[in-house]
Structure 1
């Protein structure tokens, strides 16, 4: 472990405006944090791939769906902001949940974050390859846009380049993400503006109605719950703003960036929802839901509209991959500092002061899974099932952190109304709401079919995969606790395992 990392002091309340010295380069402000979080949420890809599918389910209640979905996410983000301001740590939930609920729960959240991050990188690599093939196909290159082998091969190259950029420095990575994601935002915004005002060749098919924002206007409670459930997980990734909290210029940057990024994404989703409903009929939603953005772009602009849409989604996916690489590497770095992973995971690049080993190994593992998944189709089903059912895991993680926030700050709630609201009411209620949404997702998926099948579209399989990930974390935690015995498990909750482990091995 590096000398800089070994000198890391325990967080104290005496210096609330400074982050601990971990050896990481401290260069990020709110703007960079917003870019990193938005890139990981990738609202442009969600608009391109998911908005049409969601619209086919909830009908004209699409704007209201996103408005409702943003509320519990914002509530959890408020809790994250208070936790990060008190203890900025790259391990985020892995560290905070340990203090509140013990190392077994904390490790489980860390394990879930590691598993979902790795599997999503494998999926994202293939997705970037598919969008690349889509661009080439629209250019008339004669490639097969459905070829998983070529998509994976191209995705491996893209992801390797992204990892190299991430190691060069998080500030550089944020600049690259800003360029990639910025282009995608410009394209999607332009399409939505044209669709909203009915300026394109297709014109507008529906008049704007305030009833689209009515939270009580859904055809049924089950439709509303299912829609809000799907919409809530389009925000997944905002917490990356907190994974770089040790690289921020002060403790409050992560909270501001996280909340602002959610607000921006919610605005994009709601505006795009209105624009889509102005220009697409119910039949078009049903027929073109999975490719609504390319279809709408072609409808509005004709000619090479689909090419521009695919290019925008490709660049947005690359920005998302880079942000995912950054978040995953910092989680494993935190696990290395606490002894759960080997010390080399916590080592920083001697020049760029980034977790190079964590970055390269995390990406390598994801790419191996992506490549093997092509050779073994069943593994690809597991990857897709994890992505499709990630809401179960996200609900568990977000909900647990919301409750952990209440527990950690329970002695400070009477100090002020602000403390009561931001430390207990908002994160607590939001955490319970998300746990309930996750439970509802388990119920609806499980009861949607009569039997389980090894298929990424089978409801019971979509429950079995995330549950298997959670269950697998138990023996891994037990091996750490009783065989490796790192400070993360053996030290009292109030002792910072980062500091003690670093001091023991410095």
Structure 2
């Protein structure tokens, strides 16, 4: 037995239930974390003015870029079951310190996306209630954001299957609604002879870097299927499949949505609601009903994104708790529901309180939404950058490196660096503020790791946990998983 490590008596991520989610439910985790239906009718309305005639190209380029990221992530997902996804993947490729940077970076991305989604759901619910006379404003949005967070927390604590089914059902409904409304708006505009808007060339060129960063936010979260790998059936098949195909499907949806909105018939409002879309008057008497249905669908999509992003965040924090990077209490699982309830209960109040406070300070939910989305994009792009660099290093370490993953990993990392620098240097854009906040939060996470290393001497060797076959699996009526390090 020399040279072989003794088999563990329990998995490092024990407590989470195994083999619960089908491929459809794993796919639902990736889809809900992205909130594609909300993106379909909101992000193009923001990207088109910034990118001008390059708007469609921006979505196509970012679709290819995110597909490349998915290829890199799938190299890990086919070889290990890690509930913290990008965090553990980067540790296995680049080591503990870059891995910790990736872990906190993706945690920032998940948290900021969940915050934006809570605010989005509250804003659209406020708009819907405003149609029946309920006063609109920050107080109403804040109250509805609290309700949204409470309902989402209840579903997530009760079980991954319940939350996955709910978010997937909600998101499918929302995508269908968004697609139908966009087609109706486009065909109505074409029938009435509406001319596409013309954007000034200098404006489209000066803000193109910011437009590309916004377009990237349309895809972020697709990799979160990796965070439910422990709870997935056939994880080495279902998780990589979801990660590889989600950005491709999203690219088709977003290109379609951008083309439908290129006539300028659906526009973003600038009031208290972040992005409430307005159908053209030429849509006829049914415009109001369509707007209500569309707002209901977008509300549902933001709610699904709250569940998807917070689910991924909680699994990342759960793994950090098991390792000792954060308090070990955060690494506890509910005895009955087998969910990371402590991580969820710690994360959700922050996810709700931060955007609500930000809203009362800024006074505009649209500005808050843009700020949180920009911060989220930084978190995701930072983690994507590191995992792309980790891919060839990991494959080289296990003796499986070939030319394609080397080229894809390095090229994708370079392109993401170029986009985020370009966006940060864009004149009159708020990206540099998000960059500064992101840098401060990331530095805080790294400082916390340095402090925890004094309390946990072997912390550097403990990070990057993943699910492993244990002694009980060998003797129980269970199909054990072979996990390569």
| Equivalent in the alignment of 2:459 | 488
> Is 1:66–1:269's contact at 8 Å kept on the other side of the alignment?
yes
| Equivalent in the alignment of 1:132 | 125
Measured in 2, the distance between the counterparts of 1:472 and 1:440 equals: 25
User: For residues 304-346 of structure 1, what are the alpha-carbon distances to aligned partners after superposition, in whole Å with 9 as ceiling and x for unaligned?
Assistant: 2221221111111101101112111101111111111233222
Measured in 2, the distance between the counterparts of 1:357 and 1:291 equals: 31
Measured in 1, the distance between the counterparts of 2:369 and 2:291 equals: 27
- Picking from 169, 174, 178, the partner of 1:179 is 169
| Equivalent in the alignment of 2:482 | none
* Cα displacement (A) at 1:428: 2.7
Measured in 2, the distance between the counterparts of 1:218 and 1:65 equals: 17
Once the two structures are superposed, the pairs formed by residues 250-261 of structure 1 within 5 Å of their partners are: 250=234, 251-261=236-246
Measured in 1, the distance between the counterparts of 2:50 and 2:389 equals: 31
* Cα displacement (A) at 1:438: 1.6
| Equivalent in the alignment of 1:473 | 445
Measured in 1, the distance between the counterparts of 2:295 and 2:118 equals: 15
Could you tell me the TM-score, scaled by structure 1's length?
Answer: 0.80
Measured in 1, the distance between the counterparts of 2:104 and 2:409 equals: 22
- Picking from 127, 145, 167, the partner of 1:155 is 145
| Equivalent in the alignment of 2:228 | 244
Cα gap change, 1:354/1:299 in structure 2, threshold over 3 Å: closer, same or farther? Answer: farther
User: For residues 362-408 of structure 1, what are the alpha-carbon distances to aligned partners after superposition, in whole Å with 9 as ceiling and x for unaligned?
Assistant: 11232343454456559998886343343333222111110001111
Cα gap change, 1:26/1:267 in structure 2, threshold over 3 Å: closer, same or farther? Answer: same
Q: How large is the RMSD of aligned CA atoms in angstroms?
A: 3.3
* Cα displacement (A) at 1:63: 2.1
> Is 2:93–2:390's contact at 8 Å kept on the other side of the alignment?
yes
Larger RCO of the pair (alpha carbons < 8 Å, separation 6+): 2
User: For residues 28-87 of structure 1, what are the alpha-carbon distances to aligned partners after superposition, in whole Å with 9 as ceiling and x for unaligned?
Assistant: 122112222111111221222221121122223322221111111111111111101111
> Is 1:297–1:306's contact at 8 Å kept on the other side of the alignment?
no
Q: Which moved more, 1:322-331 or 1:356-365?
A: 356-365
- Picking from 251, 270, 295, the partner of 2:278 is 295
Measured in 1, the distance between the counterparts of 2:355 and 2:245 equals: 33
Could you tell me the TM-score, scaled by structure 2's length?
Answer: 0.83
Measured in 2, the distance between the counterparts of 1:428 and 1:218 equals: 32
Matched, 1:361 2:346: yes
* Cα displacement (A) at 1:99: 2.4
Q: What is the count of residue pairs matched by the alignment?
A: 452
| Equivalent in the alignment of 1:54 | 47
* Cα displacement (A) at 1:222: 5.5
Measured in 2, the distance between the counterparts of 1:248 and 1:399 equals: 26
Q: Which moved more, 1:160-169 or 1:361-370?
A: 361-370
| Equivalent in the alignment of 1:194 | 184
> Is 1:338–1:486's contact at 8 Å kept on the other side of the alignment?
no
Measured in 2, the distance between the counterparts of 1:231 and 1:496 equals: 32
| Equivalent in the alignment of 1:267 | 252
Q: Which moved more, 1:166-175 or 1:342-351?
A: 342-351
Cα gap change, 1:48/1:293 in structure 2, threshold over 3 Å: closer, same or farther? Answer: farther
| Equivalent in the alignment of 2:157 | 167
> Is 1:293–1:309's contact at 8 Å kept on the other side of the alignment?
no
Q: Which moved more, 1:367-376 or 1:462-471?
A: 367-376
Give the match's secondary structure for 1:307.
Answer: helix
Measured in 1, the distance between the counterparts of 2:95 and 2:458 equals: 12
Measured in 2, the distance between the counterparts of 1:383 and 1:287 equals: 13
| Equivalent in the alignment of 1:437 | 419
Measured in 1, the distance between the counterparts of 2:316 and 2:377 equals: 20
> Is 2:268–2:278's contact at 8 Å kept on the other side of the alignment?
no
> Is 1:33–1:258's contact at 8 Å kept on the other side of the alignment?
no
Matched, 1:115 2:108: yes
Q: Which moved more, 1:348-357 or 1:382-391?
A: 382-391
| Equivalent in the alignment of 2:408 | 426
Cα gap change, 1:429/1:458 in structure 2, threshold over 3 Å: closer, same or farther? Answer: closer
Give 5+ residue unaligned stretches, structure 1. 1-5, 11-19, 208-216, 450-456, 500-506
| Equivalent in the alignment of 1:15 | none
* Cα displacement (A) at 1:221: 6.3
> Is 1:92–1:243's contact at 8 Å kept on the other side of the alignment?
yes
Measured in 2, the distance between the counterparts of 1:462 and 1:344 equals: 31
> Is 1:338–1:497's contact at 8 Å kept on the other side of the alignment?
no
Measured in 2, the distance between the counterparts of 1:274 and 1:459 equals: 26
| Equivalent in the alignment of 1:233 | 217
Q: Which moved more, 1:79-88 or 1:101-110?
A: 101-110
> Is 1:100–1:408's contact at 8 Å kept on the other side of the alignment?
yes
Once the two structures are superposed, the pairs formed by residues 339-350 of structure 1 within 5 Å of their partners are: 339-350=324-335
Once the two structures are superposed, the pairs formed by residues 319-358 of structure 1 within 5 Å of their partners are: 319-358=304-343
Measured in 1, the distance between the counterparts of 2:337 and 2:11 equals: 21
Give the match's secondary structure for 2:296.
Answer: helix
Give the match's secondary structure for 2:166.
Answer: helix
Give the match's secondary structure for 1:184.
Answer: helix
* Cα displacement (A) at 1:226: 4.0
